Structure formats: structure tokens, C-alpha cells
């Protein structure tokens, strides 16, 4: 279903002219979709957005020449919370996909998508759903199965757990983490045990490996 009967306005942020032109060609016959502009850099994208704050959706390349697409995604979401963002990438990597969604993206498409999938993705995200390209979805499910995690319960870590996880990743001991965060060593160990349970692993090295695979070590 189309959530809007009015024109849907899109902005493309991608530094490959072929991609932007390809998408424009795909959408030219769709009278309800209008590509307002396309930008080649993150900076240019933000400038276009400030001139078109009523835009509905952005197709955002994750690898831009001047900025980290993941950070840009987060920045755009903070500035324009209502705006839908669909990440574009040629990399089918579960870690990047889950980081993108965590940073507020509403969807994720691989650049070799067909027109039908692009239209479907735009309509789904404008209807309030999260859209993952079929290839991306399969990849995440496969990685979750390898880690023996229920796909319907992608592990959510608390802010404190993420903080401890990143310090463990830097090689700090529980004692060092406890003093750095002004917590008891018992508290640190409790958080660590909770994370082992959430990711279905039995020791810290395996925990870090699984967390990295799922993009939890942002």
C-alpha cells in the first residue's frame, strides 16, 4: 500500500554516477516518485536536505568519499527524525547491515537490486516497516544460525554492556574495567555473563568474535 497519495520525494546520496543514473532511470516512469536531487558527497547531501526538509526518503550509499555513511545516517536521523533512510551498498555483510539499522536506517538494499525490489523497499519503509534486501536478510540469518542465535531475537545489548564489551575488545581485564568505570568487579562480571548468555557463547574471546560478526562492536 502507498502511505501517501501525494508525490514521494527522494534524494540520492551516492558518489557513483552510474548508480544515481541507474536509479533515476528505474524510477522515471513512476509518476508518484520524484528524485529531488542527487549528491556525490555527504556534505553535499546535507546541504540539499537543508533546502528540501520536506523530502520523504533518502537512498544513502554507505561508502562515501568524504564521510562515514554510518555516522551520516545517524546525523541525518537526528536532524530529520521523520525522514526514511535506505542504505545502499555493494557489500553484503551482516555486521554493516545491523550497524546501519542500529543507527536509524529504515532499510538496506544491495546495489544490484531490480526495479521491483527498489519500489517495494521504498513503499515498505514509507509504510513504517524496516526493509532488508533479500540477499542481506539471508546473510544475517546465516550468520545468526552459525552463532546459534534465534533470528527473531537479535541480541540487544544495553549501553553499559556495549561499553564493557568495547573495553574487553581493547584487551582490558575485568579489574581494569571496574576501576575505569568506577564499578565493582562483581558488577563487571555480571554484565559479562549476561552478554555470554545473550550471544550464546562460553568465553570472552568467542564473545568478542560473535559481537564483531554481528556488528555490535561499533
204-213 vs 159-169: helix crossing angle, rounded to 10: 110
The count of other CB atoms within 10 Å of the CB of residue 13 is 28
Q: Which residue has the cell 502507498?
A: 2
pLDDT score of 70: 87
> Which residues, listed in sequence order, are joined to residue 59 by a DSSP beta bridge?
12, 86
Contacts of 156 (CB under 8 A, 6+ apart): 198
**Statement: the pTM of the whole predicted model exceeds 0.85:** no
* HEC letters along the chain: CCCCCCCEEEEEECCCHHHHHHHHHHHCCCCCEEEEEEECCHHHHHHHHHHCCCCCEEEEECECCCCEHHHHHHHHHHHCCCCEEEEEECCCCHHHHHHHHHCCCCEEEECCCCHHHHHHHHHHHHCCCCEECHHHHHHHHHHHHHCCCCHHHCCCCCHHHHHHHHHHHCCCCHHHHHHHHCCCHHHHHHHHHHHHHHCCCCCHHHHHHHHHHCCCCC
**What is the residue-level pLDDT of the chain in tens, covering all 218 positions?**
444 457 899 999 999 888 889 999 999 899 899 999 999 999 999 999 999 999 999 999 988 888 888 899 999 999 999 999 999 888 767 677 778 888 889 998 888 888 999 999 999 999 988 888 877 677 776 766 766 666 556 677 888 999 999 999 999 999 999 999 999 999 999 999 999 988 888 899 989 988 888 778 75
In DSSP terms, 38 is beta-bridged to 12
pLDDT of amino acid 1: 43
Amino acid at each position: 500500500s502507498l502511505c501517501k497519495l501525494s508525490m514521494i520525494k527522494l534524494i540520492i546520496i551516492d558518489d557513483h554516477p552510474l548508480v544515481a543514473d541507474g536509479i533515476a532511470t528505474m524510477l522515471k516512469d513512476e509518476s508518484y516518485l520524484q528524485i529531488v536531487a542527487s549528491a556525490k558527497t555527504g556534505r553535499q547531501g546535507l546541504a540539499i536536505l537543508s533546502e528540501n526538509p520536506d523530502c520523504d526518503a533518502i537512498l544513502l550509499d554507505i561508502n562515501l568519499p568524504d564521510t562515514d555513511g554510518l555516522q551520516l545516517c545517524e546525523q541525518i536521523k537526528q536532524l530529520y527524525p521523520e525522514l526514511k533512510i535506505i542504505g545502499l551498498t555493494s557489500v553484503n555483510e551482516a555486521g554493516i547491515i545491523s550497524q546501519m539499522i542500529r543507527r536509524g536506517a529504515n532499510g538496506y538494499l544491495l546495489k544490484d537490486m531490480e526495479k521491483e525490489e527498489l519500489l517495494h523497499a521504498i513503499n515498505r519503509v514509507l509504510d513504517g516497516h524496516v526493509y532488508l534486501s533479500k540477499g542481506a536478510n539471508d546473510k544475517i540469518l546465516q550468520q545468526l544460525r552459525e552463532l546459534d542465535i534465534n533470528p527473531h531475537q537479535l541480541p540487544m545489548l544495553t549501553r553499559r554492556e556495549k561499553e564493557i564489551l568495547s573495553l574487553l575488545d581493547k584487551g582490558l581485564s575485568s579489574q581494569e574495567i571496574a576501576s575505569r568505570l568506577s564499578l565493582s568487579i562483581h558488577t563487571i562480571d555480571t554484565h559479562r555473563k549476561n552478554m555470554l548468555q545473550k550471544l550464546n557463547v562460553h568465553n570472552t574471546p568467542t564473545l568478542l568474535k560473535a559481537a564483531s560478526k554481528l556488528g555490535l562492536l561499533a
